[in-house]
């Protein structure tokens, strides 16, 4: 969808650069802006006045004097506009409304059941977005747009979700999601892979540290990954949805859950699906476990049952999750040895669901990193938790102000 209504809010290129500097650094002085921009005082003053008149930035007091007049301080006006961020995943979809400082005004989530077709979900999203706008007295002119972080594969340029696997409901193929949501709301809508939006959010939260190379892996029903280098998301020739899950761990290993995948793929050993399948198989074989107190039919074991068993320190649950975490750590080590990121952020239901999985996986990865201990990588579960994909989708839209 056309985002010119956003990109043209700041028309001058140097003003865009100045606004981005303020946005990233919080409160800055006129001296900071002069040092960063290299502009003349008159040019800088004119652009600052234009941004202030538009309401994009605000004067926020005075800095400490260095001998002359105290310098004026400026900050981004967080309430200049608002943005929707939407996550569409296989287990849950989530809508958030945030201001330009990513302060959350509201959120709403929906379980992705067998009834949650594209038509049903988009109708609920449009209805809830309108209610949020009404509750906060916002008309469409105050909304920059909506970003969507979705399960792929997808075509981000045309705004279409292509052929995602394992949605509980039918109909999730060739879905023109941006039009289905944007047209009834009358706002521009932008689509990208959910892993890409999550890493945008986490890199934004880490902007003070200025990590140059970041790797994000989302572990849930499948595995999804994204890379940021020098502040930019790295895109491949095609959408890379799920490709990390096809990393081969054992060439003669477990068959993939459908014919399109590799034998011995990482996702077959370290995903919600893999853990549930291992637990179901063990119970069918008669293994003693707390899980039999939770379900009567092994085929109905789901990850939330395994989490409950973990809380009871059930030996079988611990064994299964430890093995999955070990395989995940091996795959992560392969990525470290190829990409050498400065920081790795792990997210998704599998990471959020069990702290031991994160600990074991990262320990294995470090042990198998080729240049360890010379190469030191930072591991994190992220600062935004389960909201990272939706918040990052909003960050993606905000970037158009300065593009």
Structural fold of domain 210-382: Nucleotidyltransferase; domain 5 (3.30.420)
Per residue in 347-398, pLDDT (tens digit) is 888 898 778 899 999 999 998 888 777 788 999 988 787 889 999 999 999 9
Per residue in 20-36, pLDDT (tens digit) is 888 888 888 888 888 88
Q: For residues 326-338, give the mean pLDDT.
A: 94
Instruction: Give span(s): CATH 1.10.10.10, the chain.
Output: 4-76
pLDDT at site 68: 61
pLDDT at site 41: 85
Instruction: Give span(s): CATH 3.30.420.40, the chain.
Output: 82-201+388-402, 210-382
pLDDT at site 124: 98
pLDDT at site 98: 97
Q: Which of 108-122, 269-283, 322-336, 380-394 has the lowest mean pLDDT?
A: 380-394
Q: For residues 258-267, give the mean pLDDT.
A: 88
pLDDT at site 320: 96
pLDDT at site 1: 59
pTM summary value: 0.85
Q: For residues 126-145, give the mean pLDDT.
A: 96
Per residue in 48-85, pLDDT (tens digit) is 899 999 999 998 777 666 666 677 889 999 999 999 99
CATH of region 4-76: 1.10.10.10
pLDDT at site 107: 96
Please report, rounded to a whole number, the percentage of residues in the chain having pLDDT higher than 70: 96
pLDDT at site 231: 75
> Does the pLDDT of residue 286 top 80, yes or no?
yes
Q: Cis link prior to 373 (omega < 30° from 0)? A: yes
The CATH architecture that domain 82-201+388-402 belongs to is 2-Layer Sandwich (3.30)
> Does the pLDDT of residue 290 top 70, yes or no?
yes
């Amino acid at each position: 969808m056309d985002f010119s209504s956003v990109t043209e809010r700041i028309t001058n290129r140097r003003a865009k650069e100045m606004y981005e500097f303020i946005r990233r650094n919080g409160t800055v002085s006129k001296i900071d802006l002069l040092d960063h921009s290299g502009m003349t005082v008159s040019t800088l003053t004119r652009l600052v006045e234009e941004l202030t008149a538009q309401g994009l930035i605000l004067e926020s007091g005075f800095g400490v004097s260095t001998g002359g007049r105290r310098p004026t301080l400026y900050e981004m006006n967080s309430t200049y506009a608002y943005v929707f961020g939407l996550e569409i995943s296989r287990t849950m979809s989530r809508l958030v409304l945030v201001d330009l400082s990513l302060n959350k005004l509201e959120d709403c989530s929906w379980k992705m059941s067998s009834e949650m077709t594209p038509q049903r979900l988009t109708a609920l999203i449009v209805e809830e977005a309108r209610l949020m706008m009404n509750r906060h007295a916002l008309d469409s002119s105050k909304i920059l747009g909506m970003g969507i972080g979705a399960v792929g594969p997808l075509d981000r340029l045309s705004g279409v979700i292509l052929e995602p696997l394992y949605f509980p409901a039918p109909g999730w193929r060739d879905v023109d999601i941006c039009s289905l949501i944007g047209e009834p709301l009358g706002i521009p809508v932008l689509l990208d892979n959910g892993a890409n939006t999550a890493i945008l959010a986490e890199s934004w939260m880490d902007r003070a540290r200025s990590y140059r190379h970041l790797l994000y892996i989302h572990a849930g029903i499948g595995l999804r990954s994204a890379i940021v280098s020098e502040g930019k998301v790295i895109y491949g020739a095609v959408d890379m949805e799920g490709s990390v899950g096809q990393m081969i761990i054992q060439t003669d290993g477990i068959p993939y859950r459908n014919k399109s995948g590799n034998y011995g793929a990482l996702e077959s050993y370290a995903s919600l699906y893999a853990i549930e399948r291992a637990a179901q198989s063990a119970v069918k074989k008669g293994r003693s476990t707390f899980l039999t107190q939770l379900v009567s039919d092994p085929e109905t074991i789901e990850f939330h049952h395994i989490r409950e068993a973990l809380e009871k320190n059930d030996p079988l649950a611990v064994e299964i999750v430890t093995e999955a975490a070990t395989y995940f750590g091996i795959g992560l080590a392969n990525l470290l040895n190829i990409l050498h990121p400065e920081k790795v952020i792990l997210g998704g239901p599998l990471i959020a669901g069990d702290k031991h999985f994160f600990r074991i996986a990262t320990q294995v990865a470090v042990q198998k990193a080729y240049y360890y201990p010379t190469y030191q990588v930072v591991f994190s579960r992220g600062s935004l938790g389960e909201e990272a994909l939706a918040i990052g989708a909003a960050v993606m839209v905000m970037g158009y102000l300065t593009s």
